[in-house]
Amino acid sequence: MSLLRKKDVSVMMDQKSHSKLARHLSGFDLVLLGIGAIIGTGIFVLTGTGALYAGPALPVAFIISAIVCALAALCYAEFSSMIPVSGSVYTYTYATIGELVAWIIGWCLILEYGLASSAVATGWSGYFQSLLSGFGISLPTALTAAPGAVPGSETFFNLPAFLILMVITLLLSMGIKETKRVNNIMVLVKVAVVVLFIVVGIWYVEPGNYTPFAPFGISGVLQASAIAFFAYLGFDAVTSAAEEVKDPGRNLPIGILGSLAIVTVLYVVVSAIMVGIVPFKQFEGVDSPVSLALKVAGQDWVAGFVDLGAIVGMTTVILVMTFGLVRLLFAMSRDGLLPKIFSDVNEKSHTPVKATWILGTTAGLIAGFVPLGTLAELINIGTLAAFALISIAVVILRKTRPDLKRAFKVPWVPFLPILSVLACIMLMLNLQTFTWIAFFIWTAIGLLVYFGYGRSRSKLQQ
């Protein structure tokens, strides 16, 4: 039963009260942090891929993914308002189900946050090189992509992807106040670019492009939803900032649900306009579908702004995902499950500087050497597993600790959480066999680390 030992909520809150992390984030900051994490590769790159499966029904695929995320988001909002402690689902599971399950879900989140930073950095590199080519600048072929990423080309290392992660790591190590200022500015810029696309593109929609609406049936729409799900990743990273939030009971639910609502509206409108301008088959092999739609509409000048918005948008995603990864390992290290170096807080910047550089450099090397396609689905399955577990945890804690103060409550428990679990399983079943095999291998490695290191050093064990 020691594998299912639970960490008491009062102990978690005591740790929070003695935390050296600085509290500078407001509800507005958290909404922008969530938008910063979500709008990036999903809308600027993966919308074209999703269109090949769903056809003109692409907006429906985004709505399905949004519903799955919204169900999980309600559960996140309840937990974050009740236990405003770093660690996200890892922390919530530790309080409800037990240490081993918390470790497994923390290990899954490492997969989500770490690989998301690397995957988005890879997409960022493509747009950045496209921008450089507009000025007649090109990098040596060997430094433009990971090995094997471009068939027929002798690529060795994705230098731009590595360098952007080093810049992000430097910013994060400076402190949360500096990080939020840069993030807020970049998020406002990329939202303005998305709105510009909507305002310009809506006039060039051809109704005939919406027929047939779902050429590959419901299975095609669900496959597109599994891909589109990647576009929503990141809202849960807001909860990683729990110990750096002013009035977390109020502001964390605002940040989680507010950012998800705004992004959903933007995604659905943008995807509807895209497939209305360009016949969906023309998106095959295109890694900048939003720009393509504007070029087909003859609005090349706006396409340039979209490329800039994509670069800025992906930068904020890398920023928030790396931030979430550092705070996750901070929480796991503080519990004794990982080495102490990950929970050391710098006295000057009030951030885990050592952990930031270790994790940022590791993510940068992965981005440099691993192709984007290999990363994306691995991220999805780890996240869906986390979403399913937090939904289960809400039901458990309602039964075991009804006395806890909840500033926000999920309505219709247990029906909504059960629906959330079923929706996550539905999307997981639409992922490839390779993804499942890789997921089980990753979980097995995590169990080896836990039984070889974490279990005996756990603070609860001591």
CB atoms under 10 Å from CB of 442, counted, come to 17
Better pLDDT: 127 or 416: 416
Q: What is the pLDDT of residue 401?
A: 84
Q: What is the pLDDT of residue 271?
A: 93
Percent of the chain's residues with pLDDT above 70: 97
Q: Is the pLDDT of residue 240 over 60?
A: yes
Instruction: Report pLDDT digits (tens) over 4-46.
Output: 788 888 888 887 777 778 788 888 999 999 998 888 767 777 7
257: tokens are: 């649900």
Helices (H), 46-175: 47-54, 58-82, 89-96, 99-134, 159-174
Instruction: Report pLDDT digits (tens) over 89-128.
Output: 888 888 888 899 899 888 888 887 888 888 888 878 877 8
Question: What is the CA angle 307-270-293, rounded to 5?
Answer: 55
For 252-280, what is the mean pLDDT?
93
Q: What is the pLDDT of residue 49?
A: 81
Helix, coil or strand: residue 25: strand
pTM of the entire structure?
0.85
Using CB atoms within 10 Å of the CB of residue 156, give its burial: 0 to 12 exposed, 13 to 18 middle, 19+ buried.
middle
Please state, in angstroms and rounded to a whole number, the distance separating the CA atoms of residues 265 and 248: 25
Instruction: Report pLDDT digits (tens) over 154-176.
Output: 888 999 999 999 999 999 999 88
Q: What is the pLDDT of residue 357?
A: 95
Please state, in angstroms and rounded to a whole number, the distance separating the CA atoms of residues 387 and 75: 9
For 57-71, what is the mean pLDDT?
91
Q: What is the pLDDT of residue 372?
A: 60
Q: What is the CA radius of gyration of the chain?
A: 21
Chain-centre distance of CA 138, in angstroms? 30
Q: What is the pLDDT of residue 41?
A: 66
Q: What is the pLDDT of residue 63?
A: 93
Q: What is the pLDDT of residue 258?
A: 93
Q: Which CATH architecture has domain 30-403+412-456?
A: Up-down Bundle (1.20)
So where are the chain's domains?
30-403+412-456
Average pLDDT of the chain is 86
DSSP 3-state percent helix, strand, coil across the chain (nearest 5) = 75, 0, 25
Using CB atoms within 10 Å of the CB of residue 215, give its burial: 0 to 12 exposed, 13 to 18 middle, 19+ buried.
middle
Q: Is the pLDDT of residue 284 over 60?
A: yes
User: Which of the four pLDDT bands, split at 50, 70 and 90, describes residue 290?
Assistant: confident
Q: What is the pLDDT of residue 373?
A: 58
Q: Which residues fall within 8 angstroms of residue 433, CB to CB, at 6 or more apart?
A: none
Please state, in angstroms and rounded to a whole number, the distance separating the CA atoms of residues 61 and 46: 12
Distances (CA, A) of 365 to 195, 328, 371: 34, 20, 12
For 261-284, what is the mean pLDDT?
92
Instruction: Report pLDDT digits (tens) over 294-339.
Output: 888 888 888 778 878 888 888 998 998 899 899 999 999 999 999 9
Q: In terms of Cα–Cα distance, which of 258, 128, 114, 122 is closest to 187?
A: 258
Q: Is the pLDDT of residue 375 over 70?
A: no
Q: What is the pLDDT of residue 8?
A: 84
